[in-house]
Amino acid sequence: MGADEVAQRAGVSVATTVRLAQRLGYEGYPALRGSLQEEFRTHRSLGERLRDVPSTTGILPTLVAGEQAALGAAVTSVTDEELIAAARVIRGAERVFVHARGHATVVGELLLRRLRRLGRTVIALFGEGREIAEQLHTIDAGDVVISLALRRQPPLYAAVMRYATAQGATTVVIGDAAGSLLQPRPDHLLAASRGPHDGYLTIVVPTLIAEALAVAVGRLDPEAPATLDRLEQLIDELGP
């Protein structure tokens, strides 16, 4: 974010943002932002992160402790207002497109199933360019695209979001600390840190955000309980 956006979100003047950077030892806000971006993008291999986990004992307690800290922070990172605002546009959408790549696809699959169970028309934007294009080209102004962006901006993110916006669709992102660096910015951002950026990160936090979003969509829809009851009856008739 630029100094003007930081100032607006913090409720202060741009001059105050610049003075903060200078008090921290930087020439100005751009230098502070560049330093933070460089620190965030510092790369540690997957092997190095794995070696930080205890080798023989305490593996589960170590991971649980990290997730507890990240989940606690997520409560303040994603507000009720932000969650409900995103849920409202999904609730009112004609169709919902879910875009994910890599390990984020696991969260995307979960969200897709949750929304489909609630009676939403959901289309998966998984795979490579041609597969995504054949689905995305039908998007319209009454639709929503939900993109999963973890650790860094996905390769096809910008193209998907630009096309969706050009067609008048609403965009939503579920992400982690990288969410603030996404370009173009989505209409709704639900992002919370998964822990130290150079540590061993799991998908627990974004999974919980996706679950919360689906629950919020269901709670906004007075027909959702009856829809779920019909689904359960159909499953009983057709088998698991």
The pLDDT value given to residue 197: 65
> Collapsing DSSP states into helix, strand and coil, what is residue 98?
strand
How many residues in the chain?
A: 240
pLDDT score at 76: 87
Distance of CA 234 to the CA centre of its chain: 32
Task: Compute mean pLDDT per 10 residues along the chain, 240 residues long, and list them.
Answer: 87 92 82 72 62 71 88 90 97 97 95 96 94 95 96 90 97 89 91 79 94 97 93 90
Pick left, alpha or beta for residue 162 (phi over 0 → left; psi -120 to 50 → alpha; otherwise beta).
alpha
* Domain layout of the chain by residue ranges: 3-67, 69-237
pTM: 0.79
Phi-psi region of 49 (alpha: psi -120 to 50; beta: other; left: phi over 0): alpha
Confidence (pLDDT) at 31: 80
pLDDT for 50: 65
CA distance 157 to 175: 12
- Say which CATH architecture domain 69-237 belongs to: 3-Layer(aba) Sandwich (3.40)
